[in-house]
Amino acid sequence: MSASTDTKKYWLDSSENVTKLYRGLWVVCLMLVGIDLFLHRHEDFEFATLFGFHAAYGFFACVALVLAAKQLRKLIMRPEDYYDRDSDER
């Protein structure tokens, strides 16, 4: 079966399902941050007891990882035909 005749429809092909998934993720994230209002933690550092600290820390750590990966890609990226070339040309 070629790709042009493939008519199988996946659940994320529908924009309504993508919107539902996106909104569902927002709801779960807000619920997890809301739990922070009622949760008592025994932290070693005072700043870790601030409301939403762990959520903000996780978000900014994830953003930092993505930005670091983009810079690392520039350093270690190979040309598109790197493996198609002879070993003498590398």
Mind listing the pLDDT tens digit for each residue in 20-48?
Answer: 999 999 999 999 889 988 888 889 999 99
For 53, the domain range is 12-77
Per-residue model confidence (pLDDT) at position 3: 58
Tell me whether residue 46 is in a domain: yes
Concatenated DSSP letters for 48-63?
GGSTTHHHHHHHHHHH
Mean pLDDT calculated for residue range 63-88: 88
Tell me whether residue 16 is in a domain: yes
Q: Please determine, for residue 67, whether its predicted confidence score (pLDDT) is greater than 90.
A: yes
Tell me whether residue 28 is in a domain: yes
User: Which residue bears the tokens 């003498």?
Assistant: 88
What's the number of domains the chain is made of?
A: 1
Q: Who has greater pLDDT, 3 or 6? A: 6
User: Which residue bears the tokens 């779960």?
Assistant: 28
| pTM, entire model | 0.64
- d(CA 84, CA 43) in angstroms, rounded, equals 54
- d(CA 90, CA 80) in angstroms, rounded, equals 13
- d(CA 57, CA 49) in angstroms, rounded, equals 12
Per-residue model confidence (pLDDT) at position 20: 96
Per-residue model confidence (pLDDT) at position 80: 84
